[in-house]
């Protein structure tokens, strides 16, 4: 990255930080600002303005990102469904209302939540830094 590009980026970052401190955002504006910041970070690596820490010539297609995000959201949905069904079985008295009874049934929900977090982190990292290019295309 050239010196003038670093200076411009630093000035813009300082101005954005001051604007957010002076005029705090709430609601959907916070989400939009976060998404724009992630997109800007991706653009910096994609345009080769800064060196990508995971290596050059990365694949920035959105298909691997969408696949990992879909797996993460599916795991999250399965974990929520499993937790609701477990609570229902405990409430109906099919499973004893003890730490052991509820814990045995909630362990898969915790595993699914961990799996969802891993897939969503993988999607974010693939979005930000790009994926590996495959020889076939």
User: Is pLDDT above 90 for 76?
Assistant: yes
* Length of the chain (residues): 137
pLDDT level of residue 53 (50, 70, 90 thresholds): confident
The pTM of this model reads: 0.69
Instruction: Please tell me the distance from the alpha carbon of residue 5 to that of residue 58, in angstroms, as a whole number.
Output: 22
Q: HSE on the CB side for 24, CA within 13 Å? A: 1
pLDDT tens for residues 77-91? 999 999 999 889 888
pLDDT tens for residues 89-126? 888 988 888 888 878 888 999 999 999 999 999 999 88
């Amino acid at each position: 990255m050239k010196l003038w590009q670093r200076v411009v980026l630093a000035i813009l970052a300082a101005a954005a930080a001051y604007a957010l401190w002076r005029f705090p955002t709430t609601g959907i504006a916070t989400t939009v600002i976060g998404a724009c910041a992630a997109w800007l970070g991706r653009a910096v690596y994609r345009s080769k303005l800064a060196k990508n820490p995971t290596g050059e010539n990365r694949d920035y297609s959105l298909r691997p990102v969408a696949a990992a995000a879909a797996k993460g959201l599916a795991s999250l949905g399965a974990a929520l469904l499993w937790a609701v069904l477990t609570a229902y079985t405990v409430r109906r008295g099919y499973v004893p209302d003890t730490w052991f009874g509820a814990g045995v049934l909630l362990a898969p929900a915790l595993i699914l939540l961990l799996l969802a977090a891993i897939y969503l982190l993988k999607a974010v990292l693939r979005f930000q830094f790009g994926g590996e290019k495959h020889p076939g295309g």
